[in-house]
Structure 1
Amino acid sequence: MNVRRKAAALAAGITVTVIAATPAVAAGPSPSVAIPAGLYGTSDPTYDGVWRQSLALLAQDAVGVQPADKAVAWLAGQQCASGAFAAFRADPGKACDAKVMVDTNSTAAAVQALSTLTVSYDAQVAKAVKWLKSVENADGGWGYSAGGASDANSTAVVIGALGDAGVTVPNVRKDGKSPYDALRKLALPCDNGTDAGAFAYQPDKKGRLLANADATAAAVLGLDGESLTGSRQDDAEAPTGCAEPDPHVPETALSLNGARWLTRAMAKDGHLTSPLPGAKPQPDYGNTADAIVALSSLGLHDQAAKPLHWLETHSKAWAAQSGPAAYAQLVFVATTAKGADVHDFGGQDLVTLLNATGPTPADIEERVTAGPEEKTASDDNDGSLNVAWAVGGALLVVAIAGFVLVARGRKRGQQQ
């Protein structure tokens, strides 16, 4: 669960239980609700079911994995008639009423996931987008709940959803204000000393803007028009200082200012630190991952290199404990950061680990259940052999390949 969302739950008096997602970590208490067959993760989904499912599907799409039909069906089935999504509905067959707490974050994450699927969910996406537009605040942004004060995280994840759904984000306005106007109001100005360029989650009770790493990483992605996954970009020149944004086109400068602050925040230790009040400072794995994705999506790979190395070295236990959303965040890192490998991230194959937290993906299920007669030529040859044939091959390779093909041809009834 995102640190900000966990903190909000704790503040509301909600007990948040984190349960092991893999056998490598001792299991915690049983979830208070039954885990649906199509849902990723084994921890209680009450507060993050749609969120973690959406991230898992986004991560699978990012690495070319076709998700299980029942995983997609579970997510689509969580939608209310209004188009909105709640964090989790144990009985999706029951119509949503006023007691169902729908929210912008779950809705936006679901839109991002459903927009990536090869099977069309255009109708569901359109309904969700219509709902998101209907609850836009007068300042152009969104709060976690409909009508709540705008915050950087919610506004950014909605921007990503609208973009993935094919909506022109600057044209989504309320009282003349766009989502970018809302984010601009949460940016700390360049005369704010060491926190110049950072973003606040929301103004505090006194109206002050306080730097927040989670909000800054989210805002950088949102201002750059990126979804939660980010995207790998070519190397770009790093900002040398905080720049006052052009009033007419503020997005680029604000995004770079936020990236500069994230770079400085991680420069010493290679990671961000958990901001939970009263607790001993701890490395913040999730927000560090988000920050790396934000930097890499701007092409700031040199600035992301040290945090990337730290995360590769230290994230194994955190991901195993936190489950599919954490593995998804690491996949986003590995697919955006220069030099990262999703199949060898600190010695781990993130794709295999993510897939193991839920129903077997459709394409893997097909390969497992396929009989000898259903295999294709690409299934019968490994990567090295294909490369050898493409290059021309040495005589020895040709001889070996011929032997293998003859043997396999006999097994398939001389199909060759």
Structure 2
Amino acid sequence: MTVRRSAAALATTAVLLGAAAPVAVAAPSPSPSAELPAGLYGTTDPTYDGVWRQSLAFLAQKIEYVTPSTQAVEWLADQQCDSGAFTSYRADASKPCDASTVMDTNATAVAVQALVEINQRREDANNGADWLKSVQNEDGGWGYNPGSPSDANSTSIVIGALARTGVPVNELTTADGSTPYTALQSLAIPCGDEDGGAFAYQPGKKGELTANPDATAASVLGLMGKGIASGTSNAVKDPSCTKGDDLSPEQTAQNGSFFLADTLKKSPYLEQAPMPGAEDTEPQPDYGNTADAVVALAASGHTDKAEASVAWLQKNATGWAKQGGPAATAQLILAAHATGADARSFGGVDLVKQLNTMGPSPAATALPSPTPTGPQPSSGTDSDDSGLSLGWLIGIGLLAGTGIGFLLSMRRKKQQP
């Protein structure tokens, strides 16, 4: 999960862990100090995830036959700058973006995907895609902000946005011949090495690659040219790790699936480092990353390898989703959709109804017909062609003490496990 989502989930994790993992200082208040816009999903401070959570809500609603309200769609569209870019959140959308506005490739990419999937404001989506193409790095990838070093998560979500708007991603070649796909492949750990098949978020200071499950799940989708709202693909043989220096994007994606399947075979959930100040120093379950891994495995044709993880999420993650708000609830809906589980009865919880109550009343709702008992294509979402967990943040006490400056620096780089 990116830092944007991590900030929103800090209080949630503290609540869920409770006495088992007390933190050094009180968690941030879930309520923002200023009144929130009427069209926005969620009740927490949207400064770092407003566009993100709104867009994920739309993606999850669309695959469950829910049409977002006009008010909610207009709120998202109004967040866009004239250049086509989105920021994480603009409190005053009437004020034009300028040189001081911090553009966000991740927010732009997820908003583009959302607008395409709900089939509204397509011109705005195309403008967003054009802006993303204009800020591609020379290595073929994208960073969190324009000009920042490329990372696996940003590159993958941008690929998904461009693919959903009909851009031939493999033709986005830089002067040295790099493409978005080669940028991702450069972050893959070779098969035969420790953690072979996994992806790093970014290279280390000496060029070393450290396995990152969240970056791996994102890269699997990116290399397959798929967006966040991905359904299941036709079953393929068990994932394997293919060695070689001239692998196709599909082969490199399957290597990532091999790593995820092997990791989840040992435990049905992924882990995150303990919160700073916690008495329990053991790793904790990572609900969001587990959901992302489920989507990646299903999208790459390995739904069977995700079954135990889906069952674990149904049993353990519904409380996390309710506390985490629209983005967390949407993640579980996307995982359910990808694997053919029923999001309206997921661990006994109607996630779709829960999400709908977190924002403006939908314009329309409809139950799927027939009720899905297996993978089902959704209206407006290409299930075959069409994703993200809580990395620990350094010190909630530091967060309170250093405020916005700390978060602005942290949101530029995902923590390595």
Q: Same fold (TM over 0.5)?
A: yes
User: 1: distance between equivalents of 2:325 and 2:31?
Assistant: 15
After superposition, the C-alpha distances for 1:206-229 in whole angstroms (9 at most, x for unaligned) are: 211000011000000111111011
Matches within 5 A, 1:391-410: none
Pick from 299, 307, 318 the counterpart of residue 320 of structure 2. Answer: 318
In the TM superposition, residue 233 of structure 1 has moved relative to its aligned partner by 2.2
User: 2: distance between equivalents of 1:94 and 1:111?
Assistant: 21
Give the residue type in structure 2 aligned to 1:325.
A
Q: Does 1:262 align with 2:264?
A: no
In structure 2, the CA distance between the partners of 1:220 and 1:101, relative to structure 1 (3 Å rule), is same
Give the residue type in structure 1 aligned to 2:148.
G
Pick from 250, 261, 268 the counterpart of residue 248 of structure 2. Answer: 250
User: 2: distance between equivalents of 1:32 and 1:201?
Assistant: 34
Report the number of matched residues. 353
Aligned residue for 2:83? Answer: 82
User: 2: distance between equivalents of 1:96 and 1:216?
Assistant: 34
Give the residue type in structure 2 aligned to 1:307.
S
User: 1: distance between equivalents of 2:351 and 2:271?
Assistant: 24
User: 2: distance between equivalents of 1:16 and 1:306?
Assistant: 24
User: 2: distance between equivalents of 1:89 and 1:300?
Assistant: 39
Aligned residue for 2:130? Answer: 130
In structure 2, the CA distance between the partners of 1:252 and 1:17, relative to structure 1 (3 Å rule), is closer
User: 2: distance between equivalents of 1:234 and 1:16?
Assistant: 34
After superposition, the C-alpha distances for 1:160-216 in whole angstroms (9 at most, x for unaligned) are: 0001111111011222211001000000011312x0000000001221100001100
Matches within 5 A, 1:167-246: 167-175=167-175, 176-193=177-194, 195-239=195-239, 241-245=240-244
Report the more deviating stretch, 25-34 or 63-72. 25-34
Unaligned runs of 5+ in 1: 10-14, 368-377, 385-416
Aligned residue for 2:110? Answer: 109
Q: Secondary structure at the match of 2:67?
A: coil
Aligned residue for 2:163? Answer: 163
In structure 2, the CA distance between the partners of 1:179 and 1:29, relative to structure 1 (3 Å rule), is closer
Structure number with bigger Rg: 1
In structure 2, the CA distance between the partners of 1:198 and 1:356, relative to structure 1 (3 Å rule), is same
Partners of 2:59 and 2:117 within 8 A in 1: yes
User: 2: distance between equivalents of 1:235 and 1:383?
Assistant: 22
User: 2: distance between equivalents of 1:207 and 1:102?
Assistant: 27
Unaligned runs of 5+ in 2: 19-26, 372-417
Q: Secondary structure at the match of 1:343?
A: helix
User: 2: distance between equivalents of 1:198 and 1:19?
Assistant: 28
Say which structure, 1 or 2, has more relative contact order (CA 8 Å, 6+ apart).
Answer: 2
Give the residue type in structure 1 aligned to 2:294.
I
User: 2: distance between equivalents of 1:246 and 1:164?
Assistant: 29
Aligned residue for 1:329? Answer: 331
TM (normalized to structure 1)? 0.80
User: 2: distance between equivalents of 1:351 and 1:246?
Assistant: 44
User: 2: distance between equivalents of 1:310 and 1:207?
Assistant: 36
Aligned residue for 1:406? Answer: none
Partners of 1:245 and 1:253 within 8 A in 2: no
Q: Output the aligned Cα RMSD.
A: 2.5
In the TM superposition, residue 98 of structure 1 has moved relative to its aligned partner by 2.2
Q: Secondary structure at the match of 2:66?
A: coil
User: 2: distance between equivalents of 1:16 and 1:294?
Assistant: 22
In structure 2, the CA distance between the partners of 1:169 and 1:110, relative to structure 1 (3 Å rule), is same
User: 1: distance between equivalents of 2:188 and 2:370?
Assistant: 49
State percent identity of aligned pairs. Answer: 49
In structure 2, the CA distance between the partners of 1:173 and 1:101, relative to structure 1 (3 Å rule), is same
Partners of 1:58 and 1:116 within 8 A in 2: yes
In the TM superposition, residue 116 of structure 1 has moved relative to its aligned partner by 1.5
In structure 2, the CA distance between the partners of 1:54 and 1:91, relative to structure 1 (3 Å rule), is same
Q: Secondary structure at the match of 1:273?
A: strand
User: 1: distance between equivalents of 2:249 and 2:192?
Assistant: 18
Aligned residue for 1:394? Answer: none
Matches within 5 A, 1:14-163: 18=11, 28-119=29-120, 121-163=121-163
Q: Secondary structure at the match of 1:70?
A: helix
Partners of 2:4 and 2:49 within 8 A in 1: no
TM (normalized to structure 2)? 0.80
User: 2: distance between equivalents of 1:146 and 1:123?
Assistant: 22
In the TM superposition, residue 29 of structure 1 has moved relative to its aligned partner by 4.7
Aligned residue for 2:308? Answer: 306
Partners of 2:5 and 2:49 within 8 A in 1: no
